[in-house]
Structure 1
Amino acid sequence: MYNKMGITKPSLINEQTISRYFEIFLKKKPMNSSFHIFGRYRDIVIDEREPLEKQREIFFHELCHILRHAGIQSMMPTAFRELQEWDAQHFTQYAAIPHHMLKYIPFQEHDVVNQMSLMFQVSPELCEMRLEQVKRRLQTTRNITY
């Protein structure tokens, strides 16, 4: 997806570019974040009172709901709503810190989390979650025997 948009390195990840690509209006207002779909019209509203790194995470979370989910959460069973939220959390990790950009991360540095946070413009907490996911994936791959 990012390569088609010309997003090849962390500094090029841009909410406006991604929104335009998917024909989604992006708005920042002093109100709770949300997404809306009315026929072909789609928008994401981000709470501008949040820190910038949190705004980026909110954007990816709401983008996931638009691209991958259907239905009105308030009308669906709790388990299904929780599944959608779980999916949106994981989507946020992958979209904010994409696999093909892991090569830019200085894994050997003692302050890797802070460097990732600055590089990808997301919270250190999200970076820690993504690092743990990468470590788990590597361990799983190493444990596979052929």
Structure 2
Amino acid sequence: MMYNYQSTPLEQSIERLYRAMNMREAHQLDPETIASHLGIWLHYAPFASRAIDRAGLQSIVLDSRLSRQEQWQDFGHELCHVLHHGGNQLTISEAFIRFQETKAVNFAYQFCIPTFMLLDAELPKLESEAVAAVASQFGVAPEFAKERLKRHTRQITSNKIAERLTAHFHAEELFKRRKGIDYIVPTGRSHMLFCRERGVIGYMGDRDESD
């Protein structure tokens, strides 16, 4: 990476979870192994995947009719319910169910293709080839890999914008300290330089747009 990627709290928690299980590479990702590490009963049955918590006994049932890739994706989704969503969905509001499902969808993308592993992956520049590589390495369906890469790209863009803004604010604060300026106030196409003790001490024009 050419910059310092700032992980989100979810990315950090997933990385900690995987490192606690001594899983650092994509080929180690496996529902049975993870469930065993976490003390979760894992079953396969011919109905829709679901998470079950009965008197503290946590189970995940994966749809046996699905492909291995789809089962892995469902495992990530249902694991979010096990780890973060207590209660019976039959007794909570529809709005809260939708909230939980949205969280579980996002968790699944992050869990099935962990960011700290994705950042280390050598991916082709061509999108279709990158999607195929991620799908193969992380054992997910191509459409799942494509959406994950889109989300990852958005997060990288957000990181870079935040990094540039932070650098700008640091540079501005350094400039203000050196010049004895308390405030820089935009005024049309220029900025007024203001000091609490001396008042207005000058103006600074905007840089030419062609710079």
Instruction: Give the TM bin, normalised by the shorter chain.
Output: over 0.9
Q: Give the counterpart of 1:133 among 151, 155, 158.
A: 151
Matched with 2:96 is 80
Unmatched runs of 5 consecutive residues or more in structure 2: 1-16, 167-211
Q: Which stretch shifts more, 27-36 or 2-11?
A: 27-36
Q: Give the counterpart of 2:55 among 39, 42, 62.
A: 39
Runs of 4 or more above 3 Å deviation: none
After TM superposition, list the pairs within 5 Å mapping 1:1-146 onto structure 2.
Answer: 1-102=17-118, 103-110=120-127, 111-144=129-162, 145-146=165-166
2:52 and 2:159 mapped to 1: Cα distance? 39
Unmatched runs of 5 consecutive residues or more in structure 1: none
Displacement of 1:74 in angstroms is: 2.2
Displacement of 1:77 in angstroms is: 1.4
Displacement of 1:107 in angstroms is: 4.4
Task: Describe the SS at the equivalent of 1:79.
Answer: helix
Displacement of 1:23 in angstroms is: 0.6
Task: Describe the SS at the equivalent of 2:69.
Answer: helix
Listed one character per residue, the Cα deviations across residues 109-135 of structure 1 (whole Å, up to 9, x for unaligned) are: 441101111110011121112111111
Higher relative contact order (CA 8 A, sep 6+): 1
Q: TM-score of the superposition, structure 1-length normalised?
A: 0.94
How much identity, in percent, do the aligned residues show? 28
Matched to 1:40, the amino acid is G
1:105 and 1:4 mapped to 2: Cα distance? 24
Greater percentage in strand: 2
Listed one character per residue, the Cα deviations across residues 82-113 of structure 1 (whole Å, up to 9, x for unaligned) are: 00000000000110000110111414244110
1:41 and 1:135 mapped to 2: Cα distance? 38
1:35 and 1:105 mapped to 2: Cα distance? 34
Matched to 2:19, the amino acid is N
Greater percentage in helix: 1
**RMSD over aligned Cα, in angstroms?**
1.3
Aligned length: 146
